[in-house]
Amino acid sequence: MDLKGCIFDLDGVIVDTAKYHFLAWKRLAAELGFEFTEEDNEALKGVSRMESLDILLRKGGIRMEEKEKEALAALKNGWYVKLITGMTPDEILPGSIDLLEALRSEGILTAIGSASKNAGTILEGIGLRSIFDVIIDGNKITRAKPDPEVFLKGAEEMKLPPSSCVVFEDAQAGIEAALAGGMKCVGVGDPELLGRADVVVPDLSFITVKQLRNL
């Protein structure tokens, strides 16, 4: 392929903040009087905050008005932001920096495409804000994955056609979004869960620029 740009999901690809999300959702569920497990948490991967809350409330058999839901989402986010504020470069996942530097050395643009509204805070904490040409996060989009909006906006801001972009994703919804947007996709994680991706790797240390050009 004529590789011009790479768009990275943040959570589970560059860093793993899933544990912090889980701790915050688990605490919220406990406050509401039910248990929320790591298995339950799998359903929230790649999903927006309000949709995640809806899934959690369904798990607890709880119905609420929108205003109440917004207050709960803000409460959860406050706990989560406190947890991620302490993140450091030590939490960058294997291979991330090497791949990003290799891409940039070959003139390939890099972007973040994340549903998180806290992507900027995380990137500042781990020291990677300046390595990305474009950041598309939850503050810039209105539709959650598997809608391709987040990745199409990334390509648009890089001024590239979708067919010249590769997306890196750890969630099925994200892979569906990349494919719907007409992009190649690298799955990061379990091949059984991410089988629709063009290639699946355990982490970013297992992929090279040469392999990406051959997708």
> Do the beta carbons of residue 185 and residue 179 sit within 8 Å?
yes
Same domain, 72 and 95: no
Q: Which residues contact 138 (CB under 8 A, 6 or more apart)?
A: 48, 49, 114, 115, 116, 117, 118, 119
C-alpha 206/C-alpha 9 separation (Å) is 17
Same domain, 73 and 93: no
pLDDT (0 to 100) of residue 165:
98
Structural domain count of the chain: 2
Same domain, 172 and 111: yes
- Give, for all 215 residues of the chain, the pLDDT tens digit: 999 999 999 989 999 887 898 999 999 999 999 999 999 998 987 788 899 999 999 999 999 999 999 999 999 999 999 999 889 999 999 999 999 999 999 999 999 999 888 899 999 999 999 999 999 999 999 998 999 999 999 999 999 999 999 999 999 999 999 999 999 999 999 999 999 999 999 999 999 999 999 99
Residues for the chain: how many in total? Answer: 215
Q: Which residues contact 120 (CB under 8 A, 6 or more apart)?
A: 129, 135, 137
Catalytic residues: 9, 11
Phi, psi of 200 (to 5 degrees): -125, 130
Q: Which domain holds residue 49?
A: 18-84
CATH code of the domain containing 139: 3.40.50.1000
Same domain, 26 and 113: no
Same domain, 134 and 101: yes
C-alpha 149/C-alpha 132 separation (Å) is 19
